[in-house]
Chains A and B, each alone.
Chain A
Amino acid sequence: MKAICTELPDKVYEEVKLLVEKGWFKNEDDIVLEALRRFLDIHKVELMEKFIREDVQWGLHGKE
């Protein structure tokens, strides 16, 4: 299975690596997955609001 490719700042990557080395996570992928889950838990309402604003623009002024 392919993964999403992204660039991490060195400092962030070092911290990710350390968490794996210390045994807190099985591998780096699991950390990214967990981080994404947490991000979405926190930002879901903000995301919905952003999406609704985009919908308003598309609904009223879209090209299709």
Chain B
Amino acid sequence: MAKSDSKIVAVCDAGPIIHLDELNCLDLLSNFHSLLIPKAVQREVEKHRFNALQHPRIIFKTIDVVSHPEPKLLVLSKALLLDKGELESLSLIQENPEAIFLTDDAAARLAGEELGYKVHGTIGIILRAIRKKIKTPKEVVELLNEIPTKTTLFLKPELLQEIILEIKE
């Protein structure tokens, strides 16, 4: 992985990896100290984007999650119908509470925030590239404009335009 001065560890759900790979900008994750994925997420990503985890500069550390989820997570998981990858990701972040959880799933994000973790998604990672000076605002706008045609990430067109406008301002 590209050398990073960030101390932030990220636990990744499948969504952001898939969506960033669809945009050919997985390298935006290179600025994290390390990227952890549970085995269930690895399987899900490989099912949809087989080569995403083979990126030459991004190393995902696959973790076999063996710990039992905390009772509150189990309740949330049941109530919010989380899938195996999301449950394993949240179990993994319980072991790394300073990490941020990257997901594009509303239910998983809700659970993560309810448990007190920092949670962000693909849009946050893309926009963070401006703040981290990895990409220019113009490059980020170009990426955002590609979301509807190149990715499986659903974003309301009006909201997308609102985000683009905010960057331009």
A47 lies within 8 A of B106 (CB):
yes
Q: How far is the CA of A37 from the CA of B123 in the complex (A)?
A: 26
B117-132 interface mask toward A, CB cutoff 8 Å, 1 = contact, 0 = none? 0011101111111110
**A4-B72, A40-B107, A51-B109 in contact; A60/B127 too (CB < 8 A)?**
yes
Q: How far is the CA of A18 from the CA of B115 in the complex (A)?
A: 31
| Chain B contact patch, size range | 35 or more
- We find that the number of chain A residues with CB closer than 8 angstroms to chain B is 25
Q: How far is the CA of A52 from the CA of B74 in the complex (A)?
A: 26
27 chain-A/chain-B pairs, Cβ below 8 angstroms = A1-B74, A1-B75, A4-B72, A4-B76, A33-B78, A37-B81, A40-B110, A47-B106, A47-B109, A48-B106, A49-B156, A51-B119, A54-B120, A55-B127, A56-B124, A58-B120, A58-B124, A59-B123, A59-B125, A59-B126, A59-B128, A59-B131, A60-B130, A60-B166, A60-B167, A62-B128, A64-B8
Q: Chain B residues in contact with chain A, CB under 8 A?
A: 6, 8, 71-72, 74-76, 78-81, 100, 106-107, 109-110, 119-121, 123-131, 154-156, 159, 163, 166-167
